[in-house]
Amino acid sequence: MLGLMQSQQLLISTLIEFAERHHGEGEIVSRRVEGDIHRYTYKEVAVRSRQVANALDGMKLQFSDRVATLAWNGYRHLELYFGVSGTGRVLHTLNPRLHPDQISWIVNHAEDSVLCFDMSFLPIVKAVHGRCPTIKHYVAMCDADKLPVDSGIPGLISYEAWIGAQSSEYKWPSFDENSASSMCYTSGTTGNPKAALYSHRSTMLHALAGALPDALSMSARDTVLPVVPMFHVNAWGLPYSAAMTGAKLVFPGPAMDGKSIFELIEGEKVSFAAGVPTVWQMMLGHMQAGGLRFSTLKRTVIGGSACPPAMITAFNDLYGVEVLHAWGMTEMSPLGTVCTLKNKHLTMSPQEKMLVRLKQGRGVFGVDMKIVDGDGKELPWDGKSYGDLLVKGPWIISAYFKGEGGSPLVDGWFPTGDVATIDAEGYMQITDRSKDVIKSGGEWISSIDVENIAMAHPAVAMAACIGMKHPKWDERPIIAVVKKPGSDVSRDELIAFYEGKTAKWQIPDDVVFVDAIPLGGTGKMQKTKLRELLKDYKLPDA
Ligand code: ADP
């Protein structure tokens, strides 16, 4: 017997309809490429998303055609989030930090029909347009009078002229909720980039679960600053969860430096911010240098790479901001776990609480996890046994776009490439990425643990641990360190700093001081590049 409830498809268009009706006055504030601050409401997002929808229909695009963006976090990008997916086309967010060769490869692979771009990315578009035959329309996300006269890009139109000519009336179509809504290519540390293709259903369920109190806890009383880019995994789903809850949204545009982010948080009374550790590192540096304090920020979700304990302490102890450590992947939409405490943790000592907060957290409802050994045998949730982490759930990929790389699943589970422990309470902790773990004398050393200790030293701005070939131990860890400006620490002082903080055999054999650690398109340390830089390095006793 079937239930007798109405069967309404879970569609992204319903989010903006809801936000318009129930939170029409809710604000969206954006720092623009031009540098000024733009502000308007959900009502206006809804009106202009419908104009986007009419404009796309006017281009005679088919259902599921891809509309690409090269854009910062901002209001026009938000309108495309709803306008493109709402009509049944697929929003393809391109990562502007990639090389033009990679971008044109990705555009051709996705067979994008339209490319909408912020003016900061005009040089990229000029570099790639001759190599992207599938793109029929180029839209510059600017006012009509800002359109460059001789851009050399055929048929270039301005976004404002494009949508300005359209009616604001539009009836969003209803279709199968399993239809594709957006896509994002993984950074492709190995082989060609591969695309995760999200559906309306997966996006809606992810937005619902992400907004829950023990996940990101979003409400109409929140002012949310997604520093995490809208071009990478849909800014962790925040634009959707914000529309679902009516939260005020604040977009940083291109200004990601510590000063600009701090000013935006204070100026707009941000209560909740989300970003990768490297962004917060810059902001904390700016605050510490100027003796600044937050007046409204309550919590920040930090993920994308491991959050160093020193950062959790700084936010918590110096500024009274709760850190929610979170873990996920492009292939997971991306939310997998969030570290929110349970009642029993509240009475713990600060040191014990810190040990919990350092973990990547509990599975969000909808995400199932397991850890397995080298033979695929499931390991216990005891907080000690570590193994390959596998996941499954309704917003985790079943295959890559166009079947690239064959089936990624093992018995229905997606192997994350991360090595982790899970404790009896269900808190997962990433030990390492399987390719970064250091194998020393048959034991594993977590590069994250080695980095975290170095990051706690007051003279260290950034630290990356990699394994170096060793004749006896197979591999030994070394730590590459960027010093804070105006601070100093010697190799021996830093090695001595590890004494008593970790097992002797896990202390790095050497310290290499570098000017910068290579970062990838999404702000993560690129250890492959670091290894290339240090290819002539020899361990002291090798
Ligand atoms: P890519 O695979 O392109 O680097 P993703 O953004 O999908 O891009 O990265 C997912 C990976 O990032 C995870 O598999 C994990 O290794 C790492 N990661 C994400 N969040 C965390 C975290 N909180 N702690 C440690 N590693 C993390």
Nearest CA to ligand 1 atom 26: 305
Distances (CA, A) of 9 to 6, 14, 178, 205: 9, 9, 9, 12
- Report phi then psi at 57, rounded to 5: -60, -40
| Distance (Å) from CA 91 to ligand 1 centroid | 22
- With bands split at pLDDT 50, 70 and 90, how would you rate the model's confidence at 519? confident
- With bands split at pLDDT 50, 70 and 90, how would you rate the model's confidence at 388? very high
Which two structure tokens, joined as six digits, stand for 420? Answer: 């982790």
Nearest CA to ligand 1 atom 25: 306
pLDDT tens, residue by residue, 25-44: 999 999 999 889 999 999 99
Nearest CA to ligand 1 atom 12: 304
- Residue 353 three-state SS: helix
pLDDT tens, residue by residue, 85-108: 999 999 999 999 888 999 999 999
Residue 191 pLDDT greater than 90, yes or no: no
pLDDT of residue 189: 55
Sign of the CA dihedral with 496 first, then 497, 502, and 507 last: negative
| Residue keyed to tokens 């604000």 | 27
Measured distance CA(72)–CA(169) in Å, rounded: 27
What would the 3-class secondary structure string for 462-507 be? EEEEEEEEECCCEEEEEEEEEECCCCCCCHHHHHHHHCCCCCHHHC
- Residue 300 three-state SS: strand
Task: Give, for ligand 1, the residue of 367, 390, 430, 527 to mutate: max count of ligand atoms closer than 8 Å to Cβ.
Answer: 430
Task: Give, for ligand 1, the residue of 95, 307, 325, 329 to mutate: max count of ligand atoms closer than 8 Å to Cβ.
Answer: 329
Which two structure tokens, joined as six digits, stand for 533? Answer: 């830089």
Residue 63 pLDDT greater than 70, yes or no: yes
pLDDT of residue 188: 57
Measured distance CA(160)–CA(264) in Å, rounded: 25
Mean pLDDT of 247-259: 97
Mean per-residue pLDDT over the chain, rounded: 95
CATH homologous superfamily of domain 438-533?
ANL, C-terminal domain (3.30.300.30)
**Residue type present at position 460:** V
pLDDT tens, residue by residue, 343-370: 999 999 999 999 999 999 999 999 999 9
Measured distance CA(416)–CA(420) in Å, rounded: 10
Nearest CA to ligand 1 atom 4: 187
Closest by CA to 314, choosing from 349, 254, 347, 357, is 357
Task: Give, for ligand 1, the residue of 190, 307, 327 to mutate: max count of ligand atoms closer than 8 Å to Cβ.
Answer: 327
| Distance (Å) from CA 451 to ligand 1 centroid | 16
| Distance (Å) from CA 327 to ligand 1 centroid | 7
| Distance (Å) from CA 100 to ligand 1 centroid | 23
Q: Which residue has the higher pLDDT, 442 or 431?
A: 431
Q: What CATH code would you report for 26-255? A: 3.40.50.12780
pLDDT of residue 525: 86
| Ligand 1 pocket at CB < 6 A | 186-187, 303-306, 325-327, 329-330, 360, 416-418, 430, 433, 522, 524
Nearest CA to ligand 1 atom 9: 329
Which two structure tokens, joined as six digits, stand for 502? Answer: 């970790």
| Distance (Å) from CA 527 to ligand 1 centroid | 13
Mean pLDDT of 210-220: 97
- The count of other CB atoms within 10 Å of the CB of residue 441 is 12
For the chain, the domains span 26-255, 438-533
Residue 190 pLDDT greater than 80, yes or no: no
Where b means 16+ CB within 10 Å and e means fewer, 396-407 reads bbeebbeeeeee
Beta-strand relationship, 474-483 and 510-513: parallel
Mean pLDDT of 7-23: 97
Q: Provide the 8-state DSSP code for 318.
A: I
Calculated CA dihedral for residues 314, 319, 321, 326, nearest 10 degrees: -20
Measured distance CA(478)–CA(480) in Å, rounded: 7
Q: Provide the 8-state DSSP code for 413.
A: B
Closest by CA to 452, choosing from 269, 254, 312, is 312
Instruction: Please identify every residue annotated as catalytic.
Output: 186, 331, 439, 444
pLDDT of residue 541: 80
- Residue 391 three-state SS: strand
pLDDT tens, residue by residue, 266-325: 999 999 999 999 899 999 999 999 999 999 999 999 999 889 999 999 999 999 999 999
- With bands split at pLDDT 50, 70 and 90, how would you rate the model's confidence at 435? confident
Q: Is the CB of residue 35 less than 8 Å from the CB of residue 259?
A: no
Nearest CA to ligand 1 atom 19: 304
pLDDT of residue 443: 81
| Distance (Å) from CA 301 to ligand 1 centroid | 14
